[in-house]
Amino acid sequence: MAEDLLRIEHLSVDYHVGAGTFRALTDVSLSMPAGRVVGIVGETGCGKSTLGHAIPRLLPQPPAQVRSGKVFFQGTDLLKLPKWRMPSVRGTGIGMIFQEPINSLNPAFRVGDQIAEAVQIRRLREHGRQPARKADVQGFDYSKREMPKAADVVTGPFVPPNLTETLKQRPPPISKDLQKEVLDFLHLVRINDPERIISLFPHELSGGMRQRIMIAMALSGKPSLLIADEPTSALDVTIQAQVLTLMKELMDEVSTSILFISHDLGVIAEMADDVGVMYAGHMVEFGPVAEIFESPRHPYTKSLIRSIPNKYKEDGVLPSLSGSVPNLSRLPNGCTFHPRCPMVRDVCRKDPEPPLTDLPPGPAGLVHRSACYFPEEVASLP
Ligand SMILES: Nc1ncnc2c1ncn2[C@@H]1O[C@H](COP(=O)(O)OP(=O)(O)OP(=O)(O)O)[C@@H](O)[C@H]1O
Ligand SMILES: [Mg+2]
C-alpha cells in the first residue's frame, strides 16, 4: 500500500493557561494520501488551527504542549525531529496559508522581494542545499514577526530575528531569471499587471490581493502539502468566492495535496475530497465528502449538515443544536458530545470516549470512520 503523505496518530495538544489546562486536541488521528484535498471542519474553538499548526511545528510552546502523538509527513515523524531540523526534510515541503495574510506578509518589504525569497529557498532545496540561515538566501532576513510566513515552513532553521540588524540591510537586486519566476507565480494566481504589483508593499493591496500573494508565496515553495487555515474567512463574501474559485482552479494545475481548514461545511463541500469533522478537540467523523453529506454517521456531523443555510430554508428556520460546546478544561466523561446528543444513552455517559472506528466500506469503498457508539442509528435522526 502506498505510504500516506500525512499520517497523524493519536495527537493530543494542551494549552496551559494560568492554572488551567485546555485540551485543544484529544487523540486526533488522520491519514491523507497524496493528491487528495482533505477538509477539516468544526465550530470555533474546536481545535482546527491547533491541528493545522501542530503539523509543521508552528504551535507557540508554551502555552501549547504536545502531550502525545505522532505526525508522519512522507514517512518521517516530524515531532521527533529537533526543531532546527524540521526544514531539512529534504525535497519535500509544507506550505501554509493563514486566515489573515497581513499577519504573514512582512509589512516592511515589497511583495516581489518576499516571493523572490521563497523561490530562492526552494531553489536551494531543489539543489540539495539547505540555507543555514534565511539570511544566506539574499544576504537578507525578512523575518521580523512571530507569525511565520509560508517560507518559514520550508526554509532553514529558525533564526531569532534581530530587528535592528534587519532594518540596516537592504535586499539585493533580484536577478532577471528570479524576477521571471516571481512574475510567473503572480500570473498563476491571476494577478493582473504583476510588474506593477511586485513593487508594492502589502498595505497597498486589498485583502483579496494579499491573499493571492500569500497563495503565490506558499506555492512558490512547490510544497507537497499545503495547509490552508480559513484562507477566505477574513474576506468579503464576493472576494471570498473569487479566492475559493482560484484555489479550486489551482488544485487542478499544481499537484499539491491540501489540508483545507474551514468552519463552513458548505465551503468544505466545494473544495475537499474527504472531510474530518472536529468537535471539542476530537475528530468525530472522517470520510469522503459526498458520503458524509449523504449519510453522516455521527450525530454532530448530522447537526452541522442540517445547519447549512439553503438546505432548510423553505420555512426560514435553521435547526440548532441545544447546549453549548464544553469547556476544554473540563471535558465531560464518556463521549464528549453526549451532553448535546439527541440519541444519548447510558453507555455514552459512562463508557470511555468512543474511538474513531472504521465503518463498513460505503459504495465507493473509501475509508469512513465515526467516533459514535451507534453510527447506524444516526440515519434515523430527524
Ligand atoms: N495561544 C493559545 N493560548 C491558549 N489557548 C489557546 C491558544 N490558541 C488556541 N487556544 C485554545 O485552544 C482551543 C482551540 O483553538 P483553535 O484556535 O485551534 O480553534 P479553531 O477551531 O481554529 O477555532 P476558530 O474557528 O475560531 O479559528 C480554543 O479553546 C482556544 O481558546
Ligand atoms: Mg482557527
Please give the number of the atom of ligand 1 that sits closest to the Cα of 53: 18
**pLDDT at res. 3:** 75
The pLDDT, as a whole number, for residue 86 is 63
* Helix, coil or strand: residue 58: coil
- The CATH homologous superfamily for domain 85-271 is P-loop containing nucleotide triphosphate hydrolases (3.40.50.300)
Question: What is the C-alpha separation between 220 and 214, in angstroms, rounded?
Answer: 10
Distance CA(343)–CA(380), nearest Å, equals: 10
User: DSSP characters for 104-143?
Assistant: HS-TTS-HHHHHHHHHHHHHHHHTT---SSTHHHHS----
For residue 43, which ligand has an atom nearest its CA? 1
Output the DSSP codes for 201-223. -GGGS-HHHHHHHHHHHHHHT--
DSSP characters over 27-56: EEEEEE-TT-EEEEE-STTSSHHHHHHHTT
237: helix, strand or coil? helix
Q: Is 171 in the pocket of ligand 1 (CB under 6 A)?
A: no
Kindly state if the Cβ of 23 falls inside 6 Å of ligand 1. Answer: no
Closest CA to 189 of 169, 168, 205: 205
Ligand 1 centroid from CA 133, angstroms: 31
| Spatial distance between the Cα atoms of 94 and 78, rounded to a whole number of angstroms | 11
C-alpha 9/C-alpha 125 separation (Å) is: 28
Give the residue among 314, 347, 352, 317 at the shortest CA–CA distance from 333: 352
Q: What is the pLDDT of residue 84?
A: 64
Cell 441545544, residue?
322
Instruction: Return the ligand number nearest the Cα of 51.
Output: 1
- Domain spans of the chain, in order of start: 85-271
**Taken in order 328, 333, 337, 342, is the CA torsion positive or negative?**
negative
Ligand number nearest CA of 41 is 1
In testing the pocket of ligand 1, which one of 15, 229, 263, 265 has its CB within 8 Å of the most ligand atoms? 15
Q: What is the pLDDT along the chain (382 residues), one digit of tens a residue?
A: 567 899 999 999 999 988 899 999 999 999 999 889 999 999 989 999 999 999 988 888 889 999 999 999 988 899 988 766 565 543 358 888 888 766 678 888 888 988 888 888 778 777 766 544 444 444 333 333 333 344 444 433 344 445 445 444 555 567 888 889 999 999 999 998 999 999 898 888 888 889 899 888 888 878 889 999 998 888 888 888 888 888 888 887 888 899 999 998 988 998 999 999 999 999 999 999 999 998 999 999 999 888 776 654 555 555 567 778 889 999 999 999 999 999 999 999 988 889 999 998 777 778 899 999 999 999 887 7
Q: Is 107 exposed, middle or buried (0-12, 13-18, 19+ CB in 10 A)?
A: exposed
